[in-house]
A and B are shown apart, each in its own frame.
Chain A
């Protein structure tokens, strides 16, 4: 294929950049192919092609996942929509025990988006993909009229390979298992509240947005028999634990005193009447592990840069089945139910 050598000078994205003609071709060449720099993409075919034998050598199952990212604002302390779109999908693969390999990248752009912002986001996707060791191998771009989307939406799908012998599943929690987390809860949710600017808070909360596959690789090396594993994104830690409790038919008891929580996130929650257990995270995993492996896994977490503030936060019990409870720091008990809708700040 003959490459266009036209330099790309546009300041903002217009409908022409999605029309299939030269403008779109130039955008794809100058922004995506240049930045993502993968051999599969350079071919400019309509699909990425993989060598099957190389994949089967790494395990016995393929894992496939997809997720769409619509965060507002596009840039927030600790990350941006691009980093999020790579980390989130990598994490969805990794929590199944899969080794993430390839991602797709589909963009829906509202006309008028500054090209400089798009370039920043694409560079950030590339950096996140490099740090996770995955390649972005195919993509799609659509431009929609003003008002038909909010600045930029990204969808990424990911493919990974699950090594043989792993059997992570939401229904495998057993009484006596320990509940582990790899660090502070609620950072992403608090950072987004802050970055939206409604509150004009003077606090430096950063999103925890990060790929977790390296950490999960280390954990599986320590203990291949991790029972349940999920990243605690929307709905927070409370939601993941409720999913595990219901799928496994067990109870979960958390100890409030052991929950890692940054003072600044706690401050945002105190101020707004939010519960950090329901705040979104983008780089936190919950692992349900056999009691005898818990200490070794905690040591593995804490030795890894993405799990330095890891902690054992509770224990699996047999009853009441399907329930998550919290032993409060004050000495009482309360039930941690699934969230009904969006958390809304309280009036007084």
Chain B
């Protein structure tokens, strides 16, 4: 398949691995412990597991799978709000597919649907708007979630609804932002990430500049990365080259998609419709300042939180859940006390087991579980 296979070529992968191996002796940090590189984005995590990228890397490189899966990090209380909205008889609740399985405190959207709620899977907010046009007597609520990648399409849908005077359409807004979250990870005391693969699709919207602080203030190299397996390998190589040459910069591996200034029209739509929230609650990471957006007052009539009353009850993460430590690279998924025991994809306790993009679910689904359990037991014995 053109424009796909070129980026999955095993010969090129072997060459890149050789380049990566060759840099080992030039990176001083490797001498003490393995390098930790974080891919922030769930899409990257998915690629890494799907193509077995980790199995190709030398053992002195560890990939830490970051919090960039918007489905995983959604706190339980927000899912409960979704269910409450979906269960209103006047509401058609529309959502992206993989958000349907996320557990709330009593049920997921899938369960609510089975019990009779009108929950429909859509592929774009525009599909939800179309449902609103077709069902003028029902209230269509779109479950808006995702990072800056999905924000422009939600914002443009609101603007379109306003132009057409559609008043039975609204958003339950759970959009979150990348930069405050990376900053929160960098500020945490147990963090030991050596470099970052920055999210390619977020960067396509926001551009290169917002990641500058990672290099200049926190002195960590960062490379904006595409989503094919060769993109990942090339970006790892670029990160290592920065380390070998003593540089800390924002580099753009994904130039074929990401313009350095981002997408102006997209950014304008975002800032027209949304404004930062003071804080937003994340599953696994707790509350992070300015890490979410809400709908501006001018568009309040499209805000499901203001249009309908939602329970808005905060539910804390289970105590035994160690998602926060996994997200910061302090421990590996299989070192968590409940991994593959009390916490599995069927009965997730923590954020990272929820969606297939979550680090723990990815290890659980694609990794050798017997091996992971063995390693966990070994570590426990050593401790």
A residues neighboring B (CB under 8 Å): 198-199, 263, 266-267, 270, 273, 320, 323, 328-335, 337, 340-341, 344-348
In the complex, B73 has a CB within 8 A of chain A: no
What residues on B are CB-neighbors of A332 within 8 Å?
Answer: 51-56, 229
Q: Using known A-B contacts A267-B1, A328-B51, A333-B52, determine if residue A348 contacts B43 with beta carbons closer than 8 Å.
A: yes
| In the complex, B100 has a CB within 8 A of chain A | yes
A346 to B49, CA, bound (A): 15
Known contacts A348-B70, A348-B150, then 6 further A-B pairs from the complex at CB < 8 Å, ordered by chain A residue:
A270-B1, A323-B368, A334-B366, A335-B366, A344-B97, A347-B146
A263:B46 contact, CB within 8 angstroms: no
* Neighbouring B residues of A263 by C-beta, 8 Å: 1
Give the residue name and chain of the A residue nearest to B96 (CB): A347
5 pairs, A vs B, C-beta closer than 8 Å = A198-B123, A330-B51, A330-B56, A332-B55, A333-B55
Q: Which of A263, A267, A335, A341 has the most CB of B within 10 A?
A: A335
B97 contacts across to A, CB distance below 8 A: 344-347
Asked, given contacts A330-B51, A334-B52, whether A344 binds B101 with beta carbons under 8 Å apart, the answer is yes
B46:A346 contact, CB within 8 angstroms: yes
A113 to B139, CA, bound (A): 30
Question: What residues of chain B lie closer than 8 Å to A337, measured between beta carbons?
Answer: 365-366
Contact A344 B368 (CB under 8 A): no
Q: Contact between B123 and A329 (Cβ–Cβ < 8 Å)?
A: no
Pick the interface stretch among B8-16, B209-217, B274-282: B8-16
- Contact A347 B70, CB 8 Å, known A198-B123, A263-B1: yes
B346 at the interface (CB under 8 A from A): yes
Cα of A266 to Cα of B4 in the assembled complex, Å: 11
B181 within 8 A of A: no
Residue interface mask B193-205, A partner, CB < 8 A = 1: 0000000010000
CA distance A334 to B121 in the complex (A): 29
Q: Tell me whether A334 and B370 are in contact (CB under 8 A).
A: no
Q: Which B residues are in CB contact (< 8 Å) with A347?
A: 70-71, 96-99, 145-146, 150
Measured CB to CB, the nearest residue on chain A to B127 is A198
Kindly report which residue of chain A lies nearest to residue B69, judged by CB atoms. A347
A266 CA to B2 CA in the complex, in Å? 12
Task: Return A151 CB to nearest CB of chain B, in Å.
Answer: 19
- B183 in the interface (beta carbon within 8 A): no
* Interface mask (B363-382 → A, CB under 8 Å = 1, otherwise 0): 00111111000000000000
Query: Is B255 an interface position by the 8 A CB rule?
Result: no
Given known pairs A270-B1, A270-B4, A346-B357, the reply for A334 and B50 (CB within 8 Å) is yes
- What residue in chain B is nearest A326 (Cβ atoms)? B52
- The chain A residue sitting closest to B356, CB to CB, is A346
- Alpha-carbon gap, A198 to B131, bound state (A): 12
Q: Are B146 and A330 in contact (CB under 8 A)?
A: no
Is the contact region of chain A dominated by helix, strand, or loop, or is it mixed?
loop
Q: Are B367 and A335 in contact (CB under 8 A)?
A: yes
**Which of A320, A334, A341 is in CB contact (< 8 Å) with B101?**
A341
Q: Is the CB–CB distance between B96 and A330 below 8 Å?
A: no
Size of the chain B interface, CB-CB below 8 angstroms: 48
- B368 close to A330 (CB less than 8 A): no
Are the C-beta atoms of B56 and A345 separated by less than 8 Å? no
Instruction: Tell me if B8 and A330 are in contact (CB < 8 A).
Output: yes
Given contacts A337-B365, A344-B121, is CB(A330)–CB(B357) below 8 Å?
no
Contacts of A328 in B (CB 8 A): 50-52
Chain B residue nearest to A341 in the complex (CB) = B101
Instruction: Give A199 to B126 CA distance when docked, in angstroms.
Output: 12
- Is B100's CB under 8 angstroms from A344's CB? yes
- Residues of chain A contacted by B104 (CB below 8 angstroms): none
Q: Is B259 positioned at the interface, with any CB of A under 8 Å from its CB?
A: no
Give min CB distance, A275 to chain B, whole Å. 8
**Closest chain B residue to A198 by CB distance?**
B123
Nearest Cβ in chain B — how far from A10, in angstroms? 31
C-alpha gap A323/B4 in the complex (Å): 29
Residue of A nearest to B363 (CB): A335
Decide yes or no whether B345 CB sits under 8 A from chain A.
yes
CB-CB < 8 A to A344: which residues of B?
97-98, 100-101, 121
Bound together, the chains give a CA A270 to CA B227 distance in angstroms of 12
> When the two chains form their complex, are residues B10 and A334 in contact, meaning their CB atoms are under 8 A apart?
no
Let me know if B157 is at the binding interface, CB within 8 A: no
Given known contacts A340-B346, A346-B98, A347-B71, is B201 in contact with A331 (CB within 8 Å)?
A: no
Residues of the B chain whose Cβ atoms lie less than 8 Å from the Cβ of A345: 96-98, 121, 123
**Quick check: A266 and B368 within 8 Å, CB to CB?**
no
B46 partner residues in chain A, CB cutoff 8 A: 273, 346
Chain A residues in 8 Å Cβ range of B368: 320, 323, 335
Q: Give the distance in Å from the alpha carbon of A341 to the alpha carbon of B111 in the complex.
A: 12
Which residues of B have CB within 8 Å of A331? 10, 13-14, 52, 56
The CA of A320 and the CA of B371, in the complex, are separated in Å by 10
Please give, as numbers and ranges, the residues of chain B lying within 8 Å of A335 by CB-CB distance: 365-369
Within the complex, the shortest CB–CB distance from B145 to chain A, in Å, comes to 7
